[in-house]
Amino acid sequence: MNNTLYEFGMVGLGVMGRNLALNMADHGVAVIGLDLDPEKAGALETEAGAGKPVRGTTSAEEFVKSIRRPRALMLLVPAGKPVDMVIASLLPLLEPGDIIVDGGNSYFPDTDRRVTELAEKGIHFFGMGISGGEKGARFGPSMMPGGNREAYERLRPTFEAVAAKVNGEPCVTYLGNGSAGNYVKMVHNGIEYGIMQLIAETYDLLKRGLNFSDEELQAVFEQWNQTELQSFLIEITGEILKKEDEVTGKRLVSVISDRARSKGTGKWTSQNAMDLQAPVPSIDMAVLMRDMSKYKEERVEAAKLLPNHTLGASTVAQRDELVNHLRNAFYFAMVSTYAQGMAQLRLASEAYNYGLQLQEVAKIWRGGCIIRAVCLEDFRQAYDKNPELPNLLLDPKIGKDLLDRQQDIRSILKLAIDKGMPMPAFMASLSYFDAYRSETLPTNLIQAQRDYFGAHTYERIDQEGLFHTQWS
Ligand code: 6PG
């Protein structure tokens, strides 16, 4: 490949960049990689194996010169400052019409800024969420690109070749303008946080609340993955629960510290949802339970001072029946979480002029990504039938699915309350449903209180206009 031009350039040959470049090479896309670390640059060719159209370099000049015009290059460097630094270093070498794709989890306002700054120089900038981790990058991720629609045609064949496929359909599509791709990936991660929290609450109720053994726990998730809950996160949970620790012989998960970390995408989802007035309570709960997990010393002290004596005394005779209720409860809460995230995407699309099509989002989330699940095909069909659907709960089939399962989630939450087990994401998922399907909410009283103490006025249900009352 020394004289021929490469189809694609990859900047940053860390875990994601290297694997995605190798994935491209596997699909016959000639790719050149750039990394300042000579070891990483050199390893790319070796790892690809003989005869693959791939090369690594440490020279930005050589890299840019070797890509066919208009150039398509992707950055897989840490989000934030490094993205701006890499853009600044490559910019003098690029020409109008060239395309830069940022494949990291960048904060969407940063992407909008970069789109505007680079457009002035004739460069197209794409923010593209990539989901699926290392394995996904290597063998087929879900990819969420946003940017200039015409410029996308230059990227499309490569992206469609490397993306995961579901029934032959690639898990990538043009999503919309500006930062649409990063926004969709951000909400993907918010939903990811929500479902992970629901799984964690399930595990906690069964283990700490009801004394399920390691084997029983593992069996629950393995069995659930054969049902309508089939999904990547349920599948890996079964595998995680099986893994033994080489040091202690115990299950590895039981010796892992319960302080959770995060990189910020879940928090951004919640923060922006509040800006848009899009309620996403299950995602909010997931974010704040990770925050709660940090207060280890205080929790240890509080556990002594405020003991929970109901724990450990497992009183459930009908374990199979309970697991069935829990499975239905989980399905209910999971669908509620997706509905919240999708409703946020709908509002964001209007607010930021993304032009998102939610049936396309559901379609590309069916494979490759962390929140892939069989239920996404149902969501896709719901949006296919009605692209303007304001909320998944308003789809008759999905709505009925939840109505049929509401007694299950209520009974599970009653049990959790009796046992003093925290299940805030389950509770939030049910409350979202209960509030959304309430024709009236008690916010009339809130309006009256606001008018009482602040003369903020209120509207009436029987007359037009704003009213104020002298309440006392
Ligand atoms: C994915 C993941 C990926 C990453 C998360 C982890 O879709 O492949 O979401 O992007 O693992 O950013 O996020 P936290 O560190 O915030 O849990």
For position 314, what pLDDT does the model report? 63
CB 372 within 8 A of CB 230: no
Residue 325, SS3? helix
With 60 as the cut, is the pLDDT of residue 2 above it? no
**Residue 27, both tokens:** 């699909």
From ligand 1's centre to the CA of 185, what distance in Å? 10
Which pLDDT score, from 0 to 100, does residue 355 have?
A: 97
Q: Across all residues in the chain, what is the average pLDDT?
A: 96
Percent with pLDDT over 90 in the chain: 96
Alpha carbon distance 20, 75 (integer Å): 11
How far is ligand 1, taken at its centre, from the CA of residue 365, in Å? 15
Q: Looking at residues 41-49, what average pLDDT do you find?
A: 92
CA distances from 135 to 23, 32, 46, 267 (A): 10, 20, 19, 25
Tell me the C-alpha distance between 34 and 68, whole Å: 15
Q: Assess whether 121 carries a catalytic annotation.
A: no
Taking the centre of ligand 1 as the mean of its atom positions, its distance from the CA of residue 108, in whole angstroms, is 15
Q: Which two tokens stand for residue 166?
A: 């579901």
Per-residue pLDDT reduced to its tens digit, 256-282: 999 999 999 999 999 999 999 999 999
The tokens for 197 are 């929290």
Residues with CB under 6 A from ligand 1: 105, 131-133, 189, 192, 262-263, 265-266, 369-370
How far, in whole angstroms, is CA 432 from its chain's centroid? Answer: 19
Ligand 1 pocket test: which of 105, 135, 195, 369 has the largest number of ligand atoms within 8 Å of its C-beta?
Answer: 105
317 or 372, greater pLDDT: 372
Residue 208, classed as helix, strand or coil, is helix
DSSP secondary structure letter of residue 176: B
Q: Which residues pair with 130 in a beta bridge?
A: 143
User: How far, in Å, are 5, 49, 145, 389 from residue 59 at the CA level?
Assistant: 16, 22, 27, 50
pLDDT of residue 312: 66
Where b means 16+ CB within 10 Å and e means fewer, 192-229 reads: bbbbbbbbbbbbebbbebbebeeeebbbbbbebbeebb
Which CATH code is given to the segment(s) 8-178?
A: 3.40.50.720
Q: Three-state DSSP class for 382?
A: helix
Cα 4 to the chain's mean position, in Å? Answer: 39
Report pLDDT digits (tens) over 123-151. Answer: 999 999 999 999 999 999 999 999 999 99
* Domains of the chain by residue range: 8-178, 185-436, 441-472
Per-residue pLDDT, averaged over 21-48, amounts to 96
Closest ligand 1 atom to Cα of 193: 17
Is residue 301 part of the annotated active site? The answer reads no
How far from 37 is each of 48, 50, 94, CA to CA, in Å? 18, 22, 22
**Per-residue model confidence (pLDDT) at position 253:** 98
The fold of 185-436 is: N-(1-d-carboxylethyl)-l-norvaline Dehydrogenase; domain 2 (1.10.1040)
Residues 454-472: tens digit of each pLDDT:
999 999 999 999 999 999 9
Residue whose C-alpha is closest to residue 190's, from 276, 88, 253, 64: 276
Q: Do domains 8-178 and 441-472 have the same CATH topology?
A: no
Q: How far does the centroid of ligand 1 lie from the alpha carbon of residue 347, in Å?
A: 23
State the burial class of residue 434 (Cβ atoms within 10 Å of its Cβ: 0-12, 13-18, 19+). exposed
Catalytic residue among 192, 201, 267, 419: 192
Supply the pLDDT for residue 249. 96
With 0-12 CB in 10 A as exposed, 13-18 as middle and 19+ as buried, what is 250?
exposed
Question: What integer pLDDT is reported at residue 220 of this predicted model?
Answer: 98
Residue 310, pLDDT score: 84
pLDDT tens for 279-334 read 999 999 999 999 999 999 999 999 999 999 887 656 677 889 999 999 999 999 99
Q: What is the pLDDT of residue 101?
A: 98
Please check the confidence at residue 1 and state whether its pLDDT lies above 90. Answer: no
Q: Among 126, 78, 81, which Cα is nearest to 99's? A: 126
Partnered with residue 67 across adjacent β-strands are 6
Q: What is residue 93's DSSP assignment?
A: G
In the structure encoding, which two tokens stand for residue 459, read together?
A: 């509207």
Residue nearest to atom 10 of ligand 1 (CA): 131
Q: Which CATH superfamily is domain 441-472 in?
A: 6-Phosphogluconate Dehydrogenase, domain 3 (1.20.5.320)
Q: Please name which of 341, 359, 332 lies closest in space to residue 423, comparing C-alpha atoms.
A: 332
CA-to-CA distance for 401 and 410, rounded, in angstroms?
15
pLDDT tens digit string along 215-239?
A: 999 999 999 999 999 999 999 999 9
How many angstroms separate the CA atoms of 185 and 265, rounded?
9
Residue whose token pair is 């939840």: 402
In the prediction, which pLDDT does 315 show? 62
- Give the number of residues written for the chain: 472
Catalytic one of 185, 267, 363, 419: 185
Both tokens of residue 97? 């019409």
**Measuring from atom 8 of ligand 1, which residue has the nearest CA?**
131
Q: What is the pTM of this model?
A: 0.97
- Of the pLDDT bands very low, low, confident and very high (cuts 50, 70, 90), residue 3 is low
Mean pLDDT of 244-254: 97
